[in-house]
């Protein structure tokens, strides 16, 4: 039996089939980087399998001696907002009570991380824009949005740090929902400040309703460049494994943050 905990990637889910396809592609890249590691995907909504049902299956396998009793549950989220702070822990706590054979540990969210900005730069390069290009470029860092002030503060700090390290003439955070400014407004603000070229970098993992809203705002305001979503960028797969390894190391040190004994 493999002694390594199973990696359970927890995605939000979407009615848009591109969402699940992108999550599957990202997890396939993770498996390719770490052969032999069991990587499962569970969803909070819209897609199957839902997280509780998947954990039930893992528990049944463990009871039959066919699986691993330890699970690292990794939220496929860029910031600590409602899903990471509330509903994912609630789902995992409930499962830990019902399924005592499983030891479930929640890993931290993906951001902030230099690997995320590296993935953003990869996607911008695919769209024809690179840090250090002679033509001055301002970037709109466009996220899905959250009413949680911590998430907004992290995005603002990410924008400031990315401008400092990459040399963009400006980096402005924007939001598809919950907070302001919207993507189109941020593009127009940069234009009004005389920025010669404006690129929109979606700070989202998979396509769906809110990423489509980001793209529509970029087109509406006449952005010069719209990068693809982060998706299955190699940096994203490496980041998932980094968060998994951190959580597994905490468990090896006897950290008591696991959701079950």
Strands 103-106 and 137-143 come out as: unpaired
Mean pLDDT of 27-34: 98
Least confidently predicted of 1-15, 115-129, 153-167:
1-15
Using CA atoms, how far apart are residues 170 and 193, in angstroms rounded to an integer? 10
Using CA atoms, how far apart are residues 46 and 147, in angstroms rounded to an integer? 22
Q: Report the candidate in 193, 206, 207, 112 with the shortest Cα–Cα distance to residue 153.
A: 112
Return all residues near 218 (Cβ < 8 A) that are at least 6 apart: 140, 142, 183, 184, 187, 200, 226
Length of the chain: 261
* pLDDT at residue 258 in the model: 55
Using CA atoms, how far apart are residues 122 and 34, in angstroms rounded to an integer? 22
Fold adopted by 6-110+233-252: Rossmann fold (3.40.50)
Asked whether 88 and 73 are in contact (CB, 8 A), the reply is: yes
| Candidates 3.40.50.970, 3.40.50.1400, 3.30.70.260, 3.20.20.70; CATH matching 128-226 | 3.40.50.1400
Domain boundaries, the chain: 6-110+233-252, 128-226
* pLDDT at residue 147 in the model: 87
What percentage of the chain exceeds 70 in pLDDT?
Answer: 95
- In Å, the largest CA–CA distance within the chain is 65
Q: Does pLDDT of 2 surpass 80? A: no
Task: Tell me, yes or no, if the two domains 6-110+233-252 and 128-226 fold the same way.
Answer: yes
The string of pLDDT tens digits covering residues 178-220 is 899 999 999 999 999 999 999 999 999 999 999 999 999 999 9
């Amino acid at each position: 039996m493999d002694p390594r905990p199973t990696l359970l990637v927890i995605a939000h889910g979407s009615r848009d089939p591109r969402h699940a396809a992108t999550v599957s592609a990202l997890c396939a890249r993770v498996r390719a980087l770490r052969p032999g590691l069991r990587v499962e995907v569970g969803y909070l909504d819209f897609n199957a399998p839902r997280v509780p049902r998947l954990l039930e299956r893992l528990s049944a396998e463990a009871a039959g001696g066919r699986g691993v009793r330890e699970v690292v549950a990794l939220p496929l989220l860029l910031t600590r907002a409602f899903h990471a702070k509330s509903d994912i822990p609630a789902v995992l706590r409930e499962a830990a009570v019902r399924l005592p054979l499983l030891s479930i540990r929640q890993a931290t969210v993906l951001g902030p991380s230099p690997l995320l900005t590296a993935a953003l730069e990869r996607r911008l390069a695919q769209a024809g824009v690179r840090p250090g290009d002679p033509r001055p470029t301002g970037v709109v860092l466009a996220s899905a949005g959250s009413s949680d002030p911590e998430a907004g503060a992290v995005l603002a700090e990410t924008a400031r740090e990315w401008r400092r390290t990459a040399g963009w003439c400006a980096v402005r955070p924007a939001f598809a929902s919950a907070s302001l400014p919207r993507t189109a407004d941020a593009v127009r603000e940069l234009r009004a400040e005389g920025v010669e070229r404006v690129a929109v970098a979606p700070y989202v993992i998979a396509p769906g309703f809110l990423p489509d809203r980001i793209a529509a705002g970029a087109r509406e305001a006449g952005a010069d460049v719209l990068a693809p979503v982060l998706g299955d960028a190699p940096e994203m797969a490496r980041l998932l494994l980094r968060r998994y390894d951190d959580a597994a190391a905490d468990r090896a040190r006897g950290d008591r943050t696991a959701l079950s004994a």
